[in-house]
Amino acid sequence: MHSRINAIKFYFEQVLGREKFFWEIPRPKKHLQIPKVLSEAELRKLFAALQNNKHKAILFTAYSAGLRVSEVVGLQIKHIDSNRMQIFVEKSKGKKDRVVMLSPLLLDVLRAYLKECVPRPSTFLFEGYTANTPYSAKSAQRIFQMARQRAGINKAVSFHSLRHSFATHLLEKGVAIHFIQDLLGHFSIKTTARYLHVTKEKLVNILSPLDDLWKDQREI
């Protein structure tokens, strides 16, 4: 709806030269879509259901660094910096480069995967069936769905839920939202703020400061 209103405004104002035409048209509020997230217990079940090191490496990479499926399959060997323990994400959504953390556990998983690769990939970290071509996003998404089914997870989640889970779990652990924004490569903090709504589900597990203050007192 917003794009249609903008198109009409552009036509009348820029093409026909009518100043501020439709300026006062009320715009419908966008529905806030709360991200679908996997719990840590569900993630353990999901990862345990993976049947080979390549599949394991692909899903571990997505969750450990909060990457989109296109970013995972687009990773090249040169993007993995084991000296600085960083992953370079090149030309992600919005043509924006960024650097994310390289988990020590992920590094071990990647080394185990590469060790059994014959021939070893020379360009892309996850090669497709043809040498020097990336693994397809559809194949990566299929890996996720097969693992989800084997793990008995009935939530309506997708490969992208690994990225949502990464952000939500960091937020729950107390990482500042601005750092999470940088890790995800979001231009606007409003996009990252969606995860604040998800973490509200955890409010039942959070003690009020008052409860903590009087935790050793039976009676007041």
- Residue 127's DSSP bridge partners are 134
**pLDDT score, position 89:** 94
Single out the catalytic residue among 45, 54, 160, 194: 160
Q: Which two tokens stand for residue 96?
A: 């924006």
Mean pLDDT value of segment 67-90: 96
Is 164 an active-site residue?
Answer: no
Residue 5 burial by CB count (10 A; 0-12/13-18/19+): exposed, middle or buried?
middle
Give Cβ neighbours of residue 218 (< 8 Å, ≥ 6 apart): none
Q: Is 197 a known active-site residue?
A: no
Q: What is the pLDDT of residues 16-44, one digit of tens each?
A: 666 665 555 565 666 557 788 999 999 99
Is 201 a residue whose pLDDT tops 80? no
Task: Say which residue the tokens 């007041």 belong to.
Answer: 220
- Residue 35: predicted pLDDT: 80
Is the pLDDT at 200 greater than 70? The verdict is no
Q: Specify whether 186 is catalytic.
A: yes
Q: At residue 214, does pLDDT exceed 60?
A: no
Question: Looking at per-residue confidence, does 204 or 77 come out higher?
Answer: 77
Residue 72 reports pLDDT greater than 90 = yes
- Whether the pLDDT of residue 220 is over 50: the answer is no
Which of 68, 148, 164, 169 is catalytic? The answer is 68
The yes-or-no verdict on residue 219 having pLDDT over 70 is no
Q: Are 47 and 146 in contact (CB under 8 A)?
A: no
Token pair of 147, please? 């693992």
Tens of pLDDT, residues 158-177? 999 999 999 999 988 888 88
pLDDT of 111 above 60: yes
Task: Based on the residue annotation, tell me whether 31 is a catalytic residue of this protein.
Answer: no
| 115: confidence class by pLDDT, cuts 50, 70, 90 | very high
Whole-structure pTM value: 0.77
Could you tell me if 38 and 59 are in contact, meaning their C-beta atoms sit under 8 angstroms apart? Answer: no
Q: Which of 148, 163, 164, 169 is catalytic?
A: 163
Active site residue 120: no
Residue 88 pLDDT greater than 70, yes or no: yes
| Chain mean pLDDT for the chain | 83
**Reported confidence tier of residue 208, pLDDT bands at 50, 70, 90:** low
Average pLDDT over residues 80-99: 87
Active site residue 195: yes
Domains and CATH numbers, the chain: 1-31 (no CATH), 40-205 (1.10.443.10)
Options 93, 142, 155, 200, the catalytic residue? 93
Q: What is the pLDDT at residue 15?
A: 63
